[in-house]
Amino acid sequence: MRKKLLFIMTLLLFVEGICLSSVHRSPLLDSWEQYLKLKKKSPFDLQWIPLGPVMNSARVEAVQCDPSHPGTMYAAFGSGNLWKTTDHGLTWDPLFENQSALGIGDIALAPSDPDIIYLGSGESLKKARNFTMPGTGIFRSEDGGKTWKNTGLPDSYHIGEIAVHPQNSDIVFAAVQGHFWTPNSNRGLYRSKDGGKTWDHVLYVNERTGANDVVIAPSAPRTVYASLWENYPGISGKESGVYKSTDGGKTWERLRGGFPDGPKTGRIGLAVSWTNPDKVYALVDNLNKKKNRAAEVYRTEDGGKSLVRTHEEDLLIFPGIGWYFADCYVNPQNDDEIFALGVRMAHSTDGGQTFDLIGGDVFHLFPNPAQTLHLDHCELWINPQNPRHLAVGNDGGLYVSYDKGQSWMHHNNIPAGEFYDISVDNQEPYYVYGGTQDDSSVYGPSKEWNPLYPDGWDYVWLDAWSGGDGCYTVPDPVCPETVYFSSQHGGVRRKNMKTNHSVSIRPQLPPDHEGKLAFNFVAPYIISPHNHLTLYIGGNYVFKSLNRGDSWQLISPDLSDSGHKKKKSTAVGALAESPVKPGLLYAGTDRGAFWVTHNDGEEWREHSKGLPSRYIRSICPSRFSESRVYVAVTGINDDDFNNYLFVSENYGKDWKSISSNLPDEVAYVILEDPVHENILYAGLYRGVYISTDRGKNWSLLGPEMAATCISDLVIQEREMDLVAGTHGRGIYKMNLKPIQEAWKEGKPQQNILFQPPTARLPRFNDTHGDPDYSTLEKVPITFYLINRASVEIKVENQEGKTVWSHKMKAQRGFNQIRWDLILKRVESPKPYFIHYDKFAKPGCYSLHITGDKIDLKEDLHIKKKKGG
């Protein structure tokens, strides 16, 4: 009896161990809780103003539509939220706001109830560019996306596909790709039979192999097909293959009959006939062949006993990057018609024997000069009731066709830009520039984005396929008609914006040099703060140009060759010159090697001790102390989500962490305030943070901004605007003058109403005097309170009469509202009535805030808009 009891206890412990491993808590959930605490208590409740852009859109990872309500569409951007429209794409709402996960791998609507949505978090695109966003498991909504519940699998990180039973919305499969950069056991195929409350790990090979795709046969839902992908440490392996279950996912058999199973078998996408459960297509990235010939389609019509390649001619849609996509789809009404997604979208009407490439005419909802269907296709939706109705998500956004790809509408009206970097010029008003993930480099006005009007942005450059990876994009601070832009791996060019002509200025090693030049995907280059004609660019070597890139001088040894074994690198990831000492340069590599030269490259010294062996992405030399330098280091390319912010007071010889009370999440950028030595700004995985004591304590800056990855920060110093580039939600700005004024003498000790900027009325048309709402700009009203209070904000004219008022509960610290200058709204039944909004008249007003022991006043000047 005792032995039997001991055996049962041992068995229970073993089973419990399996269960615990399958629900291993993600560090992203811990940092999410830390983020929420800082969000709740932040005293810096200032508003971020969205600038867009939407013109060039962003990468759509997944797309689904409700066939019973064809105007309802869902577009999931890789790192830019899930958006929903119910009016055929005219307007969109973000559904997945303020959730623990930023990345999205797939979404699925339950066929039996389209209000039930499953979302698999974590991008399914494996790219080591510091921005492949992991997730925190599966989420479920039962009300069309209004509310969400995390239903488990928090350690999955990346989910490739979700499949829901056609009649039972509680039965769902999740193809978990797992950790991209480290081995883990929580990968493979999972099944839930209770709507995600519990999950069974039904298909697992090893800690290097995840599941990529899963499809349920609509006509026989106990038949399920799944593909596994050996995706760690590389993108292929002998464990990649196709599996079949005929008992609803309880048991599985690998299908080998003629399907590739070599050591370099890559990602696999599946499609099953809607009427014949034995007819299945598989699109495979078969890297056992030449990589540009790797795309192959296989078909079985006997349930997998035999799989044959369908086409004699090679399919050229995977030019070495089949790991990017490999999705396959079948027409619900004709199982001989299939679509294979790659760089291009291949289409066959004869069961895969022959293919054509889908292109078609492209129309944009908002102005865009791109003329072709964007490349790199991630997901296709085919209307089961009308297969001519298609919706495709690719690197250029969401495209919808009603004639099977002959023409497309590009829904470029969603602010989901995935920026790598941003910069600003010194024009008045100033412009913002930025490089994006495969949607080129763009520039536009620093004004608030209005979803009703074109955003005013344009491309700095555009490749022949309507996109291109835009990396560093930098305007000349003195001559804004000169703009430097780059594509991947150091492909930097100089452009004259007036003539629209650009030239390559990518440096090369001297002919007699024995080394090999290498660049990171996003290679840094800078304009010297001391001479706008001087450029520096960092690969594994650093180069200097005195003539805007016409010629280059090699000024460093191979900086990838660190003295620390773990810091051997590819190339420089961040480069900076001191704003107070010319020739004092810092360079940080993608594996944490930190280098400094005090003499413009004549001698370099490595000061890497104390820094993690991770990607140095941001270096900020101080303008207040020559020897002080800040760095931000990211480990996301290693599944390391710790926060790494450091400062050195001696040129990098010694490093001190300033992460302090920040959430333990990835840091991307750090910036020093140009006025106050003690104020720092940091861009992290979910938001912007501010410290007023040089990193001892941090607060979330502008907590009303939705959680989003901050890829870059820059300050336009004339206007004192902090501009934030995000990887997934476009660009925002915030004016820093209230913060700088409040901290003149340290932390404020009294209530403050800050002088508002001059308010500008919108332009009024000269024919009927109706307002041009595209020119409307709100004026910020900003105040600081020592304690919480209920207050009334009043605008009084020169006679002391209140013309506008607003009551609010103000918090301790900064408070801000933005007034549109509308005094009241007017209704009228008259057929030609147009003046529905009564605006304030130009003049000088008094801004008055009152409350319990609160009486604050400032002048408010309202003027006509310049030129209007």
Q: 3-state class of 12 per DSSP?
A: helix
Take residue 440 and report the two structure tokens written for it.
């080129």
Listed in sequence order, the DSSP H helices in 315-425 are none
With beta carbons less than 8 A apart as the criterion, state whether 596 and 577 touch: no
Q: 3-state class of 745 per DSSP?
A: coil
Give Dmax (Cα) for the chain: 98
Read off φ and ψ for residue 3, nearest 5 degrees.
Answer: -65, -40
Mean pLDDT per 10-residue section of the chain, whose length is 868 residues: 39 36 77 98 98 98 95 97 98 97 98 98 96 98 98 98 98 98 98 98 98 98 98 98 98 97 98 98 97 96 98 96 95 98 98 98 98 98 98 98 98 98 98 98 98 97 96 98 98 98 98 97 98 98 98 98 98 98 98 98 98 98 98 98 98 98 98 98 98 98 98 98 98 98 95 98 96 97 98 97 98 98 96 96 98 98 86
Residues 687-723 as b or e (16 or more Cβ within 10 Å = b): bbbbbbebbeebbbbbbebbbbbbbbbbbbeebbbbb
334, burial (CB in 10 Å: exposed 0-12, middle 13-18, buried 19+): middle
Q: 3-state class of 163 per DSSP?
A: strand
First to last CA, the chain: 94
3-state secondary structure 87-144: CCCCCCEECCCCCCCCCEEEEEEECCEEEEEEEEECCCCCCCCCCCCCCCCEEEECCC
Dist CA 525 CA 536 (whole Å): 5
- The candidate with the shortest Cα–Cα distance to 778, out of 337, 449, 306, 366, is 449
Identify whether 510 is preceded by a cis peptide bond (ω within 30 of 0).
no
What amino acid is encoded at 188 in this protein? G
Instruction: Count Cβ atoms below 10 Å from residue 429 Cβ, excluding itself.
Output: 12
- The candidate with the shortest Cα–Cα distance to 507, out of 528, 547, 484, 537, is 537
Instruction: Specify the DSSP element, H or E, that contains 626.
Output: none
Tokens 């305007």: give the residue.
475
Tokens 């519940």: give the residue.
149
Handedness of CA 371, 375, 379, 385 (dihedral sign): positive
Dist CA 269 CA 624 (whole Å): 55
Q: 3-state class of 751 per DSSP?
A: coil
pLDDT score, position 21:
36
- The candidate with the shortest Cα–Cα distance to 123, out of 106, 137, 139, 103, is 103
What amino acid is encoded at 723 in this protein? V
Question: Residues 6 or more apart from 808 whose CB is under 8 A from it?
Answer: 790, 791, 793, 815, 817
Residues 437-473 as b or e (16 or more Cβ within 10 Å = b): bbbbbbbbbbbebeeeebbbbbbbbbeebbbbbbbbb
Residues 93-121 as b or e (16 or more Cβ within 10 Å = b): ebbbebbbbbbbbbbbbbbeebebbbbbb
Dist CA 435 CA 493 (whole Å): 13
Residues 251-273 as b or e (16 or more Cβ within 10 Å = b): ebeebeeebbeeebbbbbbbbbb
Q: Measure the CA angle with vertex 459, ends 457 and 462; round to 5°.
A: 155
pLDDT score, position 9:
36
CA 55 to chain centre: 16
Model pTM above 0.85: yes
Take residue 542 and report the two structure tokens written for it.
């650093």
Handedness of CA 12, 18, 21, 22 (dihedral sign): negative
Instruction: Count Cβ atoms below 10 Å from residue 309 Cβ, excluding itself.
Output: 17
Read off φ and ψ for residue 507, nearest 5 degrees.
Answer: -75, 160
pLDDT score, position 23:
52
Take residue 31 and report the two structure tokens written for it.
């940092």
With beta carbons less than 8 A apart as the criterion, state whether 159 and 180 touch: no
Take residue 731 and report the two structure tokens written for it.
């660009």
Instruction: Count Cβ atoms below 10 Å from residue 856 Cβ, excluding itself.
Output: 19
Take residue 761 and report the two structure tokens written for it.
């009325």
Q: How many CA atoms lie within 13 A of 168 on its CB side?
A: 14
Read off φ and ψ for residue 538, nearest 5 degrees.
Answer: -120, 120
Strand 407-410 relative to strand 361-364, pairing: parallel
* Residue 867: C-alpha distances to residues 254, 632, 775, 837 (Å): 71, 43, 11, 21
With beta carbons less than 8 A apart as the criterion, state whether 757 and 817 touch: no
